[in-house]
Amino acid sequence: MRTQAEQLLGTRVTGSDGRVVGTVEQVFRDDVDGTPAWARIRSGKTSRFVPLGTSQVTADGLSVPFDAQKILGGPSIEAGQHMSAAQAEELSRYYELIVPAQQAPGQQAPGQQVSSEQVPSQQVRSQPGMATQADQDWLVRQEERLQVAKEMFESGRIRLHKYVDVEPVEQAVHTFHEEYDVERIPITAEDRISGSIGECEQEIVLHEERAVLRKEIVPVERVRLRTRRVEEDSTVKDELRRERIEIEPEQKKPGAAR
């Protein structure tokens, strides 16, 4: 796989059965040629490893030629920023990526799986720091490089809820009402009013104002939640291993002439 490791981070991983297993959260390179070799995928709260050499990058993400059950049932390996040779070998055996060597006289019976230590030297993959047969005169010094990946997590949830509160209100209202008064005016001789004695009556209508309450619903504001992205700088800490090559003086044998 010649795809850059940075392009795989956050990619969706799909098994051979079409089931989405998770997303790529970290890529481990081969110690020899530096190509992406293994990808750690996040599936819920667990993480598993898938080989990148037999996988393909499609428009939908990373397609792995193993079903979801095979991937999720893989070994749980604790690898920080570097995967050891033993861890890579354990994963290769689980995914059956190690091809047994041809049987030779004195070796195991046919069908028995052969470990990397038992494969003939011409088929053994060069280990970090080991001089190959074609390069006997050199020591390879290696060092670890830090790769920082970012993953999206849910940090919390905020919910808006609308409640109804009831509060008493008072408002002064100016009203009136009518009352009656009895008005008596004496009649003088100049009025010349005459009449007969008998019963009669007079009726008036009294009025008053009363406050009538009427409520209406009026929109006053619109409220909603939205996210605001806040950029910040953080520091990650880890330890990197670096090989060091020094000259060791030859130790003289006891009794040697000085």
Q: What is the pLDDT of residue 198?
A: 87
Question: Mean pLDDT, to the nearest integer, of 203-225?
Answer: 92
- In the numeric block, the tokens 């209508």 are attached to 205
What φ, ψ does residue 195 adopt, rounded to 5°?
-175, 175
Which pLDDT tens digit goes with each residue over 179-192?
Answer: 999 999 888 877 77
Token readout for 231 is 């950029």
- Give exposure, 93-112, as e/b (b: 16+ Cβ within 10 Å): ebbeebebbeeeeeeeeeee
Instruction: Classify the phi-psi angles of 111: left when phi > 0, otherwise alpha if psi is within -120 to 50, otherwise beta.
Output: left
- Which region among 22-26, 78-82, 223-227, 229-233 has the lowest average model confidence (pLDDT)? 78-82
pLDDT digit string (tens) for 136-152? 578 888 888 888 887 88
> Rg for the chain (alpha carbons), in Å?
47
pLDDT score of 256 = 58
Homologous superfamily of 5-99: Photosynthetic Reaction Center, subunit H, domain 2 (3.90.50.10)
Torsion angles phi and psi, residue 143, rounded to 5: -150, 155
Which pLDDT value is given to residue 65?
92
